[in-house]
Amino acid sequence: MPAEPPSPPDPSAYRPAVAVDERRRRRELQRQRTVRQRRVVALGGVLATLAFVVGVVTGAGSGGGDDDGARSSAGSEEPAPTLPSGKRRLFPDHRVVGFYGAPQAAELGILGIGSPDSVAKKLTRQAKPYATKERPILPAFELLAVIAANAPGDDDLYRNRQDDAIIRRYLTAARKAKAILLLDIQPGRADFLTEAKALEKWLKEPDVSLALDPEWRMDAGEIPGQVIGSVDADEVNQVSSYLSDLVREGNLPEKLMLVHRFTEEMVERPEAVEKPPGVAVTLNVDGFGTKEQKLAKYRVLVPQRFRAGFKLFYREDTGLMSPREVLALRPPPDIVVYE
């Protein structure tokens, strides 16, 4: 009598293993995120000393009076100021491609690796595949202007502000490269509006915009690197309204306000986030991992009523997505940032 054929495998037998693999994957992503957070806040803790040293070097001979070399864009009869492209509207007239980081350490991102001029050349090469006839590229330097720290500092706010000489240096390089400067805020225990107002002399410039990083927005008693922060829609709206006022008062071109997000909870009540005139509020999907993980986050974290951003990590991503793959996202992102 022939032997009975073996029974087909029970799919349920594989579920525990799949679940275990998924838990391991999530733990590994969390471990990588924790390592990255600790690295960033440790570097932020020494920012004040390093900024002073770099500032002395870069500021020497740069001149500049009380306005730190900033150009006045209001109160004259000159033509209305424009973006480096000569246009006044960001989207959909351009696709922004940027580099993120700060000069204090390479670990803070690609923008800090090498001189600003050399980084601009790398950015030009990286951005080229994203250009289309309908949407030319507008390069961007996303400079960490406020960096979260694991030490309280003199004001107990667990953040350090970038030296003016460094901001001036990157603004000069951005203008040479016909790029915009995007000032990124990791506020620690401060709030985004306070830190944005501290950057007002730069934000009054036609080619300077703003990025908010809620991962590093701490409540009282919280320490950067130990918890993942968040921001409520009301605070986001306060900042975008402030930027809108600057645009109106200075007759400035449209400003970008990039809001980083890699969990749904990172921006609380996103349905209440407003889009004031003159400000392109853009939600940037900021999470590293495999292509599949990044695509899943993108589908969930970018509501259709907002402009979309997408972040890529040269070091942390597993299999860096190509420009062709990024442009295949739906909707295609308005801004792509590399760290």
The reported pTM is 0.81
Show the DSSP H helices in 79-232 as ranges: 116-127, 164-176, 192-198, 200-203
Burial class (CB in 10 A: 0-12, 13-18, 19+), 221: exposed
Q: Residue 209: which residues within 8 A CB-CB, separation 6 or more?
A: 140, 180, 181, 182, 183, 203, 255, 256, 257, 258
CB 265, CB 259: distance < 8 Å: no
Determine how many CB atoms are found less than 10 A away from the CB of residue 61. Answer: 5
Sign of the CA dihedral with 65 first, then 68, 70, and 75 last: negative
| Residue 52, pLDDT above cutoff 50 | no
pLDDT value at residue 47: 55
Per-residue pLDDT reduced to its tens digit, 170-198: 999 999 999 999 999 999 999 999 999 99
Domain 17-61+89-338 -> CATH class = alpha beta
Per-residue pLDDT reduced to its tens digit, 234-249: 999 999 999 999 999 9
Per-domain residue ranges of the chain: 17-61+89-338
Per-residue pLDDT reduced to its tens digit, 125-166: 999 999 999 999 999 999 999 999 999 998 999 999 999 999
